[in-house]
Amino acid sequence: MKLPEHNNLEAIICRDVTKQFYVYSHRTVSLREWFIRSIKRRPIHERHAEFSLKGFNLQVQRGESVALIGPNGCGKTTVLRLIAGIYEPTFGSIYTYGRVTAVIELGAGFNEELTGAENIELYGAIMGLSRSQRDRHRDDITEFSEIGDFIKMPVKYYSSGMIARLAFSVAVNLEPDILLMDEVLAVGDQAFQNKCVKRLKAFHEGGGTLLAVSHSLSQVAQLCSRVVWLDEGKIHMSGDAESVLDAYKSSAGKHTTEQEEEV
Amino acid sequence: MNQTEFSYPPEMKTDSESRAPFRRNNISVLAELWQYRELLRSLVIRDLKVKYQRSLLGLIWTLLNPLMTVAILITVFSYFMRIHIGHYWVFLISGFFVWNFISQVLSSTTFLLSNHVSLSRSVYFPREILVLSAAFSRLVEFLFEITIVLVVLFVFHYSQVPFSLILLPFLILIQVAMAVGMMFPCAVISVLFYDFKHALPILITSLFYLTPVFYHASMIPEGVRTFFYLNPFTGLLSLYHTVLYEAAWPSIMLLCSVSVAAAGILVVGYRVFRKYKGVCVEIA
C-alpha cells in the first residue's frame, strides 16, 4: 500500500471521514415482514441515515497529545472507534502508524469468572500482544493497579473501582504507540486519578501519541497541547489547548463553568 | 439529520485502505488471523475454563450429557423400535458425537455476537475470532469425546486396527470447515433477524431427524435419497459411519463431494459474514 506522503511525523491521519449510522425504526425485522417486503420490493428496514461525522479531517503528529471535546453525541467516541478500526468509515480514509490501543469502555474485555491475572493475560491477547510481551508487563500492571492479593480472585468479586483500575493499568502499561482514551480518566479516587495523569504524561514524554476524549477540562488542560472541539460531527474549532478551552467554556456557558469548578 | 430512505443492505463505499488498522497493509484475512492466534487460543482456554473450572466433574460433563442421549437412543432403537443394524451401539456412537458437535456449535451462534458486543465495540480485533473461538472450544471437547469413542471401540469392538482410521483427521477437518462455514452466516443472521433465534432450535431438531444419525443412510427410500444428500451433514455422517462403524474405505465420489461441499459452505458463509460483520457490531 502506498502511504500518503508519509514523512514519519504523523501518527494518525483522518481524511474527509464521514460516518453514517442507520437508525432503524425497528432494529431487526421479523422474517414475515422481510418476506412480504422483499416480494413487494419495498426496503426491508425502515430506516434513515444519521450522520455521526461529516467530512472530518484530523492529523495527529507523532508524540502529540490531542483532546477531543464537545457536547454529548457530537461524535467523539465515534472518532476513536473509527481510528481504532472498530467501525469502518462510510466515506473517506483513515491511516494510523504504529500500534493502536483504544480504551473506550473500561473492563469491556474482562470475563467475570476469571481472576484478575487471567484477565490481564486475556486483555493482552485481545490487544494483539504476544505471550512474551504479556509476561513482561504482568507485574507492572498488577503493581500499578494497587489491587494487591485480589489479583488472584475472580473479577466478579471486585468492586467497580477495582475493575476500572485494573483495566486502566492494563491499557497504559501495554506500551502502545498510539493511545486512544474515552472518558476513562475519572477512575478511582483522587490519588489514583493523579497517578493516572502522571502515567499518561510519562507516556507522552516517552514519545507516545495520545488522543483523549474528556469532559474534564482541567485534565485536558493538564495533559493535552492541542484541543479539537467537535460539534454535530464537524470540527467547530481546533488549536492550542488554551484558546480552544477558553472559547469552549464561554460558549458552553455558566453551566459548564460551574461543573468545572466542582472538578 | 438526513431523512432519506435507503435500500438494504447499506452500500458502504470504503477505500480499500480505510479498513481495520491491521488490514490496511493489504495483509490478507488469514495473515491477520494468524497474528491474532494468541487471542484465539486465550479465548478458547477462557471458554473451557469458565465452563468447567468450578464444576466437580470437569470435562466429564461434556461426555455425560451426550452419553445419556446415546443410552436412550440405543435402548429405544434396539428394544422398542428395532432398527436392524448389527452392533447398533457401535453404529450410534460412531456418528452421534459428530452430530452433537454440529448442533452445539450451531446453537452457540444465536448470542455469539450480541454477547461480545461491549468487547467488540471497545477493542479492534478480527471479528472472525469470535466465531472461530466458539467452534474451537467445542472442537477441543469433541476431540476428547472421539478419543474416548476410539478407546471404547478398540477395547470392545475392533478385532484389528482398521486401516480406514487414517481418514479420521481429514473427516474432522471437513466437519470443522462445514460447521464454521454454517456458523458465520448464522451469527450475523441472528443479529439481523430476531426470529432466527427462535427458528434455529427448531431447525436443529429437524436436522437431527433428517440426518442419518440414528439410522443408516441406506435406509432412506431410494426416491428421496438425493434430497437427503442435499443436506451436507448427511454425507458427513455417512462418511463417519463408513470409516468408524464399517471400518471400510468410503467411496471416493462421496468423499470428494462432501469435501467440495464443505469448502463451498465455508467460502459462501464467510462472504456473508464479511459483508455484514461491520453492521452487526453497530446494531447488535
Whether chain B has a CB inside 8 Å of the CB on A1: the answer is yes
Instruction: Give the residue from B18, B29, B120, B274 with the most A CB atoms within 10 Å of its CB, the best one to mutate.
Output: B18
Q: Which residue has the higher pLDDT, B99 or A116?
A: B99
A92 chain-B contacts, CB cut-off 8 A: 15, 18
In the 8-state DSSP scheme, what is residue B241? I
Q: Is A114 helix (H, G, I), strand (E, B) or coil?
A: coil
- Within 13 Å of residue A251, how many CA atoms lie on the same side as its CB? 14
Q: Which of residues 165-224 of B touch A (CB under 8 A)?
A: 191-196, 199
A91 chain-B contacts, CB cut-off 8 A: 13-14
Length of chain B: 284
Q: Are strands A226-231 and A234-240 parallel, antiparallel or unpaired?
A: antiparallel
Average pLDDT value for residue range A132-156 = 84
Partner residue facing B6 (CB), from A31, A47, A95 = A47
Whether chain B has a CB inside 8 Å of the CB on A153: the answer is no
Torsion of CA B77, B80, B85, B89, to 10 degrees: 50
Q: Is B71 helix (H, G, I), strand (E, B) or coil?
A: helix
Average pLDDT value for residue range A192-204 = 84
- Quick one: closest CA in A to B17, which residue? A93
**Digit-coded pLDDT (tens) for A2-24:** 345 555 677 888 888 888 877 66
Regions of chain B short of the pLDDT cut 50: 1-26
Label residue A59 exposed, middle or buried (CB < 10 Å: 0-12, 13-18, 19+): middle
B125 chain-A contacts, CB cut-off 8 A: 126, 128
Percent of chain A with pLDDT over 90: 0
Average pLDDT, chain A: 79
**Digit-coded pLDDT (tens) for A46-55:** 666 677 888 8
Looking at residue A237, its pLDDT comes to 86
- Quick one: closest CA in B to A44, which residue? B8
Percent of chain A with pLDDT over 70: 83
pTM: 0.80
Looking at residue B104, its pLDDT comes to 92
How many contacts, defined by CB atoms under 8 Å, are there between A and B?
A: 145
**Digit-coded pLDDT (tens) for A84-93:** 888 888 888 8
Average pLDDT value for residue range A108-135 = 80
Looking at residue A118, its pLDDT comes to 85
A34 chain-B contacts, CB cut-off 8 A: 193
Looking at residue B185, its pLDDT comes to 94
User: Are A118 and B278 inside 8 Å of each other by CB?
Assistant: no
User: Are A86 and B19 inside 8 Å of each other by CB?
Assistant: no
**Digit-coded pLDDT (tens) for A210-262:** 898 888 888 888 888 899 988 888 888 888 888 888 888 888 764 554 555 54
Residues near A28 by beta carbon (within 8 Å), at least 6 away in sequence? B191, B192, B193, B194, B283
Residue A162 has pLDDT above 80, yes or no: yes
Q: Verify cis geometry, omega within 30 degrees of 0, for the bond prior to B232.
A: no
* Residue in A119, A120, A115 with CA at minimum distance from that of residue A150: A115
